[in-house]
Structure 1
């Protein structure tokens, strides 16, 4: 009798755990908006950014100098610097995190002379990974105060070397306490046209923020419409590992990019309905908070970014039904014991 009872309990607990796992996995892929913050004083406070309730991920941009024995430097435009230590951002970061918003530090930035970054060797990648972990991910005191950021973003726009090594080294630090890795490649699918090919192939990045702008071969235009963008999106969907969420990276205003601006009504009607069918769709990334604050691009699309909740609601209903069944069955078994 005891063995039958134990078997029934194990089976019922398995069913409940299975249903909960399904529910959780679908609940984490409903789609949200990521925003880059830090390259214009007009961004406003981080607290205001997070209190807008439009974003799920905020990317602090940028750590602009690192690697090859360079002095580590960051550029948050007019927000903070030598004249005002960036440790003052700690309470703002913690405010965002308390609201459930992920805050990541972005590495790199545009290919300009004042952004001097790169890696010289696998050992150099190891050194940089330790610097990033110690100063931004561990809770120890660093340039942003005693923060534990939610991850590191690779916005690399020059040199292909050793970014895969950096991803693997960072991955070793998150075995005990998980943090996120993201990458922001250009939209051309030819590996020669983006610098993160080897890094992305590691499959270690949780989020891929694909920049569908400033590249004629895969950006929206009034002459080609959305065709080139959607073709590139589907190639990326097949290229990226299934455990990575891919985001549609867009400029938040016409002034934010040389080419590739898409009116929000076109995003809502002609782009999102198609890309949300992709299994590894993650949401929309916008460059940047300053332009979005002015144009309210996010406000015009945010209602359409999430996936349909039909499946999520169905799984929730099934999970609740199994929970009720498990509770009743266990009560019956235990009352007869």
Structure 2
């Protein structure tokens, strides 16, 4: 994102190395006695080895039992993700309150997730991509009122089939309230309805169940338009929040300030705005935010910018970040926050901070991100790792497709900024790298004045959205699959858009909201 108050030239990055393809494979699940298991523990999973030769005990969107390969025994689960679902298989198990459980399995394939929902505490999740059998293991403690949990396995949208075998849940058994499913197939979930597990490096998710999201918070359209609102004057149109066009579904207030406390945040309405606007007080600012929310919009506080440095590098600074962000959300009425840190990020501790904040905020929490293109070139980048670590609470990632130079697309070719191929080829990396389609947005400058490079005409942005969603209107690069649930678009900024006559709000916003 362009800097907050004092601009400086941003270094232009280019990456010319070819991208390596993701190796896909088939696999299965196996349980071994996990850490913490004791003599009183029993295996609570029904048909965890699939040796019945069918899906007895499991409910799957697109699963079957095969005997071509298995980790042990004769049979293993094979499930095939589609463009609109993750190929999820679930089993609901009776458990005891306030008890510890170990969930473990063996898997083989691309982007395979194992976890549990409804634990009444921190819902666990772990994941891997492996062409050979790999054991996944995680644990959790049930809440004081929890009597059942749902164990799940799933792959990822558009990926190859995965195999699973020998699933097991060790711990004290509960009393079933109803019979287990007997291999029925449930309807395929929507693109925004699966993938709740957070693939954290430590193998577990965090955050309270009430804050955990399986899709967009309620009330947002299928394809959303995000705009950054400038809390400063840099030559663009100075606006009140109330001046932002209704086409913007999410407004990111730019920017929060760092305090002298590590991880701490503050926010002050720029006093120069008042002189430009004939008066704009804190009370008016808060009232404008409340009015936008009443109209069904969301307003978040953006953290960072090119010159904004907030360091979250340990548990103390993570707690400071969450506590100060929550205070600002309560004070101003923000629905959540946007992460636009461009000076380094720690994916482990920032994820800890964000899960803590989401737990405080509860349902409806909005979390957006605006990484630079260089930050999302591979899943090994810290920013990409952060997005995956908080996938369970993440609303959308609007990567900045500008100030970038040339970058790799997911097909290994190099594309230049300012083209449709650049938008589609780089979006594909995120779409195939673990984010849900609704979590991927196209961040573009509102005009040539808004960024140093990378401006694209709104019509080209619309074509890129159509290409990703439906395979139509593509440039010379056409992805090998489509993502009808593509998240939307973002612009820097609503102020520069207003200066240019609102082409983003009118053209891109109108197109997004008309997309099926």
CA displacement at 1:207 relative to structure 2: 1.2
User: How many residue pairs end up in the alignment?
Assistant: 273
CA displacement at 1:155 relative to structure 2: 0.9
What is the aligned partner in structure 2 of residue 273 from structure 1? 466
Taking structure 1 as reference, are residues 250 and 71 closer, same or farther at Cα in structure 2, changes over 3 Å only? same
CA displacement at 1:210 relative to structure 2: 1.1
CA distance in 2, matches of 1:186, 1:280: 22
- Answer yes or no: is 1:130 the counterpart of 2:319: no
What is the aligned partner in structure 1 of residue 126 from structure 2? none
- Answer yes or no: is 1:150 the counterpart of 2:335: yes
TM alignment of 1:90-239, pairs within 5 A: 90-110=286-306, 112=307, 115-136=308-329, 138=330, 142=331, 144=332, 147=333, 149-161=334-346, 162-175=349-362, 177-188=363-374, 189-191=376-378, 195-202=382-389, 203=391, 204-218=393-407, 221=417, 225-239=419-433
CA distance in 1, matches of 2:432, 2:241: 35
Aligned-residue CA RMSD in angstroms? 3.2
Alpha carbons 1:186, 1:194 under 8 Å: kept? no
CA displacement at 1:247 relative to structure 2: 1.0
Alpha carbons 2:267, 2:328 under 8 Å: kept? no
Structure having the larger proportion of residues in strand:
2
Alpha carbons 1:249, 1:285 under 8 Å: kept? yes
Q: Which runs of 5+ in 2 are unaligned?
A: 1-185, 194-214, 408-414, 471-482
Q: Which runs of 5+ in 1 are unaligned?
A: 1-17, 310-337
2:238 to 36, 40, 43: 43
For 1:228-282, what per-residue CA distance to the aligned partner results, in whole angstroms no more than 9, with x for missing partners? Answer: 33211111111243275211100000011111100123223x3121123324411
CA distance in 2, matches of 1:99, 1:29: 13
What is the aligned partner in structure 1 of residue 226 from structure 2? 34
Query: If the length of structure 1 is used for normalisation, what is the TM-score?
Result: 0.71
- Answer yes or no: is 1:300 the counterpart of 2:300: no
CA distance in 2, matches of 1:37, 1:288: 6
CA displacement at 1:93 relative to structure 2: 0.5
SS at match of 1:254: coil
Alpha carbons 1:220, 1:229 under 8 Å: kept? no
CA displacement at 1:29 relative to structure 2: 5.3
Taking structure 1 as reference, are residues 220 and 294 closer, same or farther at Cα in structure 2, changes over 3 Å only? farther
Alpha carbons 1:206, 1:243 under 8 Å: kept? no
2:284 to 70, 88, 96: 88
CA distance in 2, matches of 1:267, 1:93: 28
Query: If the length of structure 2 is used for normalisation, what is the TM-score?
Result: 0.48
For 1:2-22, what per-residue CA distance to the aligned partner results, in whole angstroms no more than 9, with x for missing partners? Answer: xxxxxxxxxxxxxxxx99x97
CA distance in 2, matches of 1:53, 1:301: 13
Alpha carbons 2:255, 2:304 under 8 Å: kept? yes
CA distance in 1, matches of 2:434, 2:294: 31
CA displacement at 1:209 relative to structure 2: 1.1
CA displacement at 1:43 relative to structure 2: 3.2
Structure having the larger proportion of residues in helix:
1
Alpha carbons 1:67, 1:118 under 8 Å: kept? no
Taking structure 1 as reference, are residues 169 and 291 closer, same or farther at Cα in structure 2, changes over 3 Å only? same
CA distance in 2, matches of 1:238, 1:195: 17
Taking structure 1 as reference, are residues 171 and 70 closer, same or farther at Cα in structure 2, changes over 3 Å only? closer
SS at match of 2:255: strand
CA displacement at 1:46 relative to structure 2: 0.9
CA displacement at 1:163 relative to structure 2: 1.8
CA displacement at 1:181 relative to structure 2: 1.2
What is the aligned partner in structure 2 of residue 287 from structure 1? 492
